[in-house]
Amino acid sequence: MWNGEEEVQFRVDFHASKSFKSAQRSVHPIAQFTNTNGTSFTFAFAFESKKDGKLYYNCNQCVAAKRKELVDGSSIKTIHIYDNIVVNGNPSDGHYPGCQPIRSAQVHAEKKKRQASQLVRSGLSSVASARLNFHTEMTRECEEVGVDEREGRLHWTKKSVTNRLSYAKISKVPPLMEDGSLPEQLTKTNTGQQFLRFEAPDGSKLFVNDMCLSLLEQSSCWKADGTFKSAPKGYLQVNII
């Protein structure tokens, strides 16, 4: 019998992680849960259950609180997500002592920074104009989204936004050509020097700029090293002398 009680559904929004340090993070974006008072918790992917396909996410703010102070017997909040719905109760309950949800002003500023980054990354705007335009938008929309404008401005420092947008600019990578070869831009250095020097039939490529070639030429002793612990997705570790 219907008893008039509607089951509350706790929904999360997903957005790309600020740092694309690991392939795993870019495959599993950050999950954000917004409380009714406008504050939010963000959750980072931990693992996927092989049994039922549920995704396990850990609270980022709990992790920060734990880093500040270890509290015996306390653990960080984990949510279980299935089809964008949190299925293990209220995502606001049971956090680590001292876990602070993100205030709405920060969330609002963050959203605008993300949009500015996307525009810069797609090559549609310069760093400077994206920073100025989105700062204007951010402050203009504060009232609309119920955020104190002064607090919003505090989350927008010129230096950090410029750094972030500059990173977005350099992370813009043109796609491969239809035949799988590198686009012209990736065969040259930023100053237009030749960078791609050799392509083997198996697809291996050798990159080196003029300065490094001349350093090798002048040196009587060469030492070789390589990174063996990890390789980006789609790449294999190789060290040929």
Q: For binding to Zn ion (CB under 5 A), which residues are involved?
A: 59, 61-62, 77, 95, 99
Nearer to Zn ion, 110 or 138 (CB): 110
- State the minimum distance, in angstroms, from the CB of residue 144 to Zn ion: 28
The amino acid present at 123, given as its one-letter code, is: G
CA distances from residue 204 to 8, 34, 141, 181, 241 in whole angstroms, order as listed: 54, 47, 50, 11, 14
- For residue 165, give every residue at least 6 positions away whose Cβ sits within 8 Å of its Cβ, in sequence order, or none: 116, 117, 120, 127, 130, 131
55: helix, strand or coil: strand
Residue 91 Cβ, how far from Zn ion at the closest point, in Å?
9
Name the residue nearer to Zn ion (CB basis): 29 or 98: 98
Report the C-alpha gap between 207 and 36 in whole angstroms. 53
Report the residue number, 74 or 181, with the smaller CB distance to Zn ion: 74
**Whole-number minimum distance, CB 148 to Zn ion, in Å?**
23
Q: Which is nearer to Zn ion, 81 or 99 (CB)?
A: 99
Angle subtended at Cα 205 by Cα 223 and Cα 238, rounded to the nearest 5 degrees: 50
Q: Are 56 and 46 in contact (CB under 8 A)?
A: yes
Q: Smallest distance, Å, CB 80 to Zn ion?
A: 15
Closer residue to Zn ion, CB minimum distance, 96 or 134: 96
CB of 30 to Zn ion, least distance (A): 13
End-to-end CA, the chain: 75
Left if phi > 0, otherwise alpha if psi is -120 to 50, otherwise beta: which for 123? left
